[in-house]
Structures are given as C-alpha cells and as structure tokens.
Amino acid sequence: VKALLNTGQAMFKQANRRVGTGTLNRVLRDAVAAHPPAQRENRTPKIFFATQIDVAPPTVVLFVNRPSLFDAPYQRYLMKVF
C-alpha cells in the first residue's frame, strides 16, 4: 500500500509540473522540422512559439500566423508530440 501511495504522489507531482517555454519551443521546432505543415490556400502555415498556460490539465497554446491553415491531422500530430 505504501508503494502505491508513493507512486500516486509522484504521478500527481508530475501532472502538476509546468514546462518552460524554451523547452516547449525546442520540442515544437524538432516536430515541425520532422514533419512540416502543408501549404493551404497558397499560404505557408507558420508557428511562432508555444507556451503552457495551465497545468491541470496541461494546456499548451501555439501562436500561429493563421489558425485556419492548420488542418485537423496536423493538429493531432502536434498533440501527440506534446
């Protein structure tokens, strides 16, 4: 029982951890380099930076040039990366 409680506490601490903007942006840069977004409407989608705004649940906001340029499959790809 004691090991189970320790594991639960460790998971709670990890779930309430905040990730820095620099770390998020490095992960985002690597993800975009591995799989860049496709052009739509003759425009190139750009992601400027990411930041975490909440910890429970973890919420990450991306600042982009035009949200409509990012289709649902690419959004799912980025969610899996984070």
What are the pLDDT digits (tens) for 41-76?
Answer: 899 999 999 999 998 888 999 999 999 999 999 999
At residue 14, the pLDDT reads 82
Residues 8-22 have a mean pLDDT of 89
pTM of the model: 0.77
**Mean pLDDT of the chain, nearest integer:** 92
Per residue in 50-79, is it b (16+ CB within 10 Å) or e — as a string?
bebeeeeeeebebebeeeebbeeebeebbe
pLDDT of 15 > 90? The answer is no
At residue 57, the pLDDT reads 83
